[in-house]
Amino acid sequence: NAGVTQTPKFQVLKTGQSMTLQCAQDMNHNSMYWYRQDPGMGLRLIYYSASEGTTDKGEVPNGYNVSRLNKREFSLRLESAAPSQTSVYFCASQPGTENYGYTFGSGTRLTVV
């Protein structure tokens, strides 16, 4: 009953460093998403992948890149981390059917110093 698994759970980066956040789902879902959560702002969509082989920008894509490696895995990369990217990052998946709820991972808490 793993659902959506995110790694790592915590990370501290120095400004300018790069890293990749990993996400995998075992529910055979078609669509996957990356959100960031900041106090008082809810969740904001960074990138999404409606199906394997496709990716699209969300509301706040600047400073990030994504890769839909296969149907199960969707990674988020920060090429040159900035303090403004300090946040909690959530990966989510959904079957790809309209009006179906999302399943979220437990998040990665990232601090950029």
Partner 1 sequence: TQLLEQSPQFLSIQEGENLTVYCNSSSVFSSLQWYRQEPGEGPVLLVTVVTGGEVKKLKRLTFQFGDARKDSSLHITAAQPGDTGLYLCAGELVYGNKLVFGAGTILRVKS
Among 11, 19, 22, 44, contact with partner 1 (rule: CB under 8 A): 44
Q: Kindly state the tokens that stand for 77.
A: 């990369």
Among 2, 28, 62, 101, contact with partner 1 (rule: CB under 8 A): 101
Handedness of CA 22, 27, 30, 36 (dihedral sign): negative
Is the bond preceding 8 in cis, omega lying within 30 degrees of 0? yes
Among 17, 63, 71, 102, contact with partner 1 (rule: CB under 8 A): 102
Among 2, 14, 42, 53, contact with partner 1 (rule: CB under 8 A): 42
CB of 98 to partner 1, least distance (A): 6
| 71 forms part of the interface with partner 1 (CB under 8 A) | no
| 31 forms part of the interface with partner 1 (CB under 8 A) | yes
Return d(Cα 5, Cα 82) in angstroms, integer: 25
| 92 forms part of the interface with partner 1 (CB under 8 A) | yes
| 48 forms part of the interface with partner 1 (CB under 8 A) | yes
The residue assigned the tokens 């969509």 is 45
Return d(Cα 31, Cα 43) in angstroms, integer: 17
